[in-house]
Amino acid sequence: MVATQDAGNPPQARPTGWEQPSWRIFRRLFRLALSLPEPVLSGLAGRSMLKPGIPALDVRARFHAWFVTRFGRSNGDAPADKRLPSLLSLALLDARPPASVTCRPTTVASPAGPLPARLYRPASAPARNAPILIYFHFGGCVLGDLDTCDTACALIAEKAGCLVLSVAYRLAPEHRFPAAVDDALASFRWVQANAGHIGADPSLIAIGGDSAGGYLAAAASLCLRDQKAALPFLQVLIYPVLEMDRRDMPPTPFDHNYPLTREDMIWFSDLYMNDIGDAADPRCSVARAERLAGLPPTLLVQAGHDLLHAEGAAFALRLEQEAVPLLRLDYPTLPHAFTAMSGGLPKARAALIEIARTLAASFAAGELVAPIQES
């Protein structure tokens, strides 16, 4: 699908040749490399990502990280440069979206103007009153677009049997905090007002996303709670960013891991915030909220090899202590951004399917529940 421009941001179209035979052949060759015996892949990738006392990173993820960091090169240091897709990137691991899911371009009305969006509808969804998940992509609120989470959204829609609305919120530094949060709130309110028009059930609206998208979902829920407004049915927070002032965060064993490093997080935060004072605002750093009680039921998903893991675990503990219904899925051998790796990492695909089945079970039960395990 063609990349869609965010409202007010530069175009993020794929470069010429992205879907040309040369690219497809290169991706196919890389996938063939991933089928090599695991000891061979492990030997090629080396031991740099092996951490004492921590389950080893998925060997295919290790090989991909080694390959990209060894042979890839940056387009440049400016946000506009980094938004250009690179041949050696997560796209090597992404899958094609399932053919049974239709995807319709649309727009979401917001005070800042129309936001480009995509509405995913699986064949199994009812024509009316279908549950819906509003989804925000990863990228530090600086990078990414509707293509970033295209396959993940389609796969979740297929396996959960629900609608998925992916929204292209405004990006920094062109639009700094709280622009993206405002867009997330506008997206939820738009779905509430237009549920009947798009075939959604207004009582079964979930909100979620991965990394920065998970942050936006949590920040929107926090704002709605404080405004005493109707809340999402549940929130799906996939390795969410919960603290924006990264400079004084304690070190983690994963600070230098591809695809998200501590340096990356500092770069994102510096571009997103107007100044360091923004980090004290719970809409910016959700973990700084004085209380979490009253937030929607939460499906919290974590990747074991992720510098955001510790703050996610601390957030989960607070949710439990403040009686917020919580289900936590933790994948100890997967890296950050595994939602974009379902074509090359079987465990990433399995994780996305488990997330989707948890959504399906919760929509069916009318509350957050774990799916029945298949025998």
Alpha helices (runs of H) in the chain, residue ranges in sequence order: 21-34, 38-45, 59-71, 79-82, 150-160, 179-198, 212-226, 262-272, 309-321, 346-365
Query: Between helices 59-71 and 21-34, what is the axis angle to 10°?
Result: 130
With contact defined as beta carbons under 8 Å apart, do 108 and 168 qualify? no
Catalytic residue from among 182, 285, 336, 362: 336
Q: Which of 211, 221, 285, 362 is catalytic?
A: 211
239 within 8 A of 295, measured Cβ to Cβ: no
Candidates 327, 326, 312, 319; CA nearest to 254 is 312
Reply yes or no on whether 166 is catalytic.
Answer: no
Q: Is 103 helix (H, G, I), strand (E, B) or coil?
A: strand
Report d(CA 263, CA 266) in Å as an integer. 5
Neighbouring CB atoms inside 10 A of 20's CB total 9
CA 106/CA 164 separation, integer angstroms? 12
Buried/exposed code over 273-289 (b: 16+ C-beta within 10 A; e: otherwise): beeeebbebbbbbbbeb
Is 306 an annotated catalytic residue?
yes
Question: What one-letter code names the amino acid at 374?
Answer: E
Find out whether 361 and 162 touch, Cβ atoms under 8 Å.
Answer: no
Residue with tokens 């309110």: 189
Q: Which of 137, 278, 306, 342 is catalytic?
A: 306
Instruction: Tell me 247's DSSP state.
Output: T
What is the helix (H) or strand (E) element at residue 107, kind and residue range? strand 101-108
Which residue numbers are catalytic? 211, 306, 336
